[in-house]
Homo-oligomer: A and B are copies of this chain.
Amino acid sequence: MSKKRQLLIDTALTLFYNHGIHAIGVNEILKRSGVAKRTLYSHFNSKEELLLAALEARHRLFIQWLESKLSNAKNDLEVTTVLFQALENWFDNNEPRLGEFRGCFFINTCGEYSDVSCEIRKLCEQHKSKVRQVIADKLSIDNQDNVAALCILMEGAIVTAQVSGKNTLLIEDCINASQAMLR
């Protein structure tokens, strides 16, 4: 992978995530990264292709982060506490790998692309599916029924922190609610 290509993806990801996709033009990405326009269009056929690469990069980054966080959990109860405490760190900008918290990049992206069957939306859906699978893999067979509800709670925490700001009780409520579900 070319260094310039990677730089373009990283810069695009940061700008798209921080300001929204339609709000950022390719010229902005070029100016910020210091890469020439010709170089961008030799690596990507369009802004949309660059966005797809950025989504994939964010997907890999987030899944790696999530797996590394959950790897410390030794039982189902710990999975929920570790999960929501990791999210709390993210909301508080104490997870440098994830960058400044601006909600979920994939949820934000879905808000900007209405065609549910386009490539972009498919990537977003696949991301959520993978997140769910990572969590499912960490839970014992007894609690597989609760994976969906746990994920819904997680999504709710992310958007609530984004829209309403992180309430001190937010994560506490999530942990209480999720542990009430565990058998």
Contacts and interface: CB of A to CB of B under 8 A. Distances in A.
Interface of A: 18-20, 22-23, 102-104, 106-114, 116, 124-125, 128-129, 148-149, 151-160, 162-165, 167, 169-170, 173-174, 176-177, 180-181
Contact of A108 (B111, B149, B153): B111
A171 to B, nearest CB: 10
Nearest to A174: B152
17 contacts: A18-B114, A20-B113, A22-B23, A22-B112, A102-B114, A107-B107, A108-B111, A111-B112, A116-B165, A128-B160, A129-B164, A148-B173, A151-B160, A152-B170, A155-B160, A156-B157, A180-B180
Nearest to A148: B173
Q: Binding site of A, secondary structure by majority: helix, strand, loop or mixed?
A: helix
B155 A169 contact: no
B164 A149 contact: no
A116 B102 CA distance: 10
A163 B113 CA distance: 11
Which of A109, A125, A153, A158: most chain B CB closer than 10 A? Answer: A153
A26 to B, nearest CB: 15
